[in-house]
Amino acid sequence: MERREFVNKGIRLSLLLSLAGLTGSLLQNTFSDDYVWQIDANKCTQCGRCVTSCILTPSAVKVVHIHDMCGYCDLCGGYFKPETKNLTTGAENQLCPTNAITRTYIEDPFFEYNINEDLCIGCGKCVAGCDAFGNGSLQLQVRHEICVNCNQCAIATDCPADAFKRVPANKPNLFKGFSGEGADFKT
């Protein structure tokens, strides 16, 4: 019996040592901050998978409007369907399938656009419209207060553009052409 105890002790000790070794080697490339998932707006192709692939319904991916980049256009490529003739807020003219963008008159000829994130489902239709005809001020981003930060993001596995990546939690946005903090643009 004593011999068995001794063997056990030896094995336990070596296991402990190997666990310590493992931890040591892991600490080599560790990271004190946490990671969160984010879409790289530069890579996003607005394929529409964010709507269905996220484990949450509605998706944690929403469109973000960067007003600093917006041209406040009357004819907004992100708001109106491409062939729209009468620039009114009627449902037949709106690109957004869920009525999540509001259009407010500021002064002639400028309009401000805002996103109602409760309604946004992250389809990216407006993003594609703004990219094609406007400044690209509408961009899809993961909203971290909604995202549960899965260990393996389900959208990341489905994303055809490989646009999802882990980013440090202290820099949680990946905008296109915009640094995200102030009003300055990246060159």
Partner 1 sequence: MNKLFIYIFLLLNLVLLNSVSGQRFPKPEFEKGHTQPELHQSPPRMLVLEYVDVIVLIVALSIASYLIIKKRSRRGIFWLSVFSLLYFGFYREGCVCSIGAIQNVTLALFNPNYNIPITTILFFILPLIYTLFYGRTFCSGVCPLGAIQDLIVFKPIELKKWTQAVLRIIPYIYLSLSVLYAATASDFIICKYDPFVGFFRLDAKFYMFLLGGGFLISGMFIARPYCRFFCPYGLILNWLSRFSKYHMQITPTTCIQCRLCENSCPFDAIDKPEELNIQTDKIVLIRKYLLLILIIPSLIFIGGYTGRQMNNVLAKVNPTVQLAEEIFRYNIKIKNQKNKLPENIEVEGFKASGKTEKQLFTEASVIIEKFKTGGMLVGGFLGLAIGLMLANLSVYKYRKNYTPNKGECFSCGRCINFCPIKIENNIKIIIKKYEATQ
Partner 2 sequence: MKPLNKDFWKKIVYFAAIFAIFISILLIINYIQYSKLDPVNAKLIENLVQRLNEDPNNEALREEIRTIDLLSRKAYFTSQWQIKMGGYLLLLTVILLVIAMQMTLFGKKEVEFLEKEDTFFAQAKARKWIIYSAIGILFVGFISAFLSHQQLNNNFLAENTNFSKTKKEEKENNFKTELADEELADSAFSDTITVQTDSLNIKLSPFPTNKEIAENYPNFRGIGGNGIIYKKNIPTKWNGQTNQNILWKVKIPLQGYNSPIIWGNFVFVSGANDSKREIYCYEINTGKLIWKHQVKISGSPSTSPKVTPDTGHAAPSLATDGRRVYAIFSNGDILAVDMNGNQIWGRNLGVLGNHYGHSSSLILFQDKVIVQYDQKQEAKVMALNTLTGKTIWNTPRKVKISWASPIVVNTGKQTEIILAADPFIASYNPYTGKENWKIDCIFGEVGPSPAYADGIVFATNEYANLSALKLGEKPEILWQSDEYMSEVPSPIATKDYLFLVTSYGLVACYGAKDGKKLWEHEFSNGFYGSPMLVNNSIYLIDIKGITHIFRASDKFNLIASNPLGENSTCTPAFSDGKILIRGKENLYCFGK
Residues 93-112 contacting partner 1, CB under 8 A? 106-107, 109-110, 112
Q: Name residues contacting partner 2, limited to 48-77 (CB under 8 A).
A: 48, 51, 57-58
b/e 146-161 (16+ beta carbons within 10 angstroms → b) = ebeeeeebbbbeebee
According to the binding rule CB under 8 A, does residue 1 interact with partner 1? no
Q: Name residues contacting partner 2, limited to 125-154 (CB under 8 A).
A: 125, 132
Alpha-carbon torsion angle 45, 51, 53, 54, nearest 10: 110
Which residues lie below 8 Å from residue 22, measured CB to CB, with a gap of 6+? none
99 torsion bin: left (phi>0), alpha (psi -120 to 50), beta (else): left
**C-alpha 23: how far from chain center:** 32
| Cβ-contact 175, 40 below 8 angstroms | no
Q: Give the one residue of 39, 50, 61, 70 binding partner 1; rule: CB under 8 A.
A: 70
According to the binding rule CB under 8 A, does residue 55 interact with partner 1? yes
Phi, psi (5° rounding) for residue 106? -105, -65
Given the complex with partner 1, which of 56 and 99 has the nearer CB atom? Answer: 56
Shortest distance, position 84 Cβ to partner 2, whole Å: 9
Q: Give the one residue of 3, 6, 21, 26 binding partner 1; rule: CB under 8 A.
A: 26
Binding partner of 11, given partner 1, partner 2, none, CB within 5-8 angstroms per partner class: partner 1
Q: Among 89-97, 101-109, 137-145, 157-165, which window interacts with partner 2 (CB under 8 A)?
A: 89-97
Number of other CB atoms surrounding residue 167 within 10 Å: 18
* Contact positions vs partner 2 (CB under 8 A): 48, 51, 57-58, 81, 83, 85-86, 90-92, 97-99, 119, 121, 123, 125, 132, 187
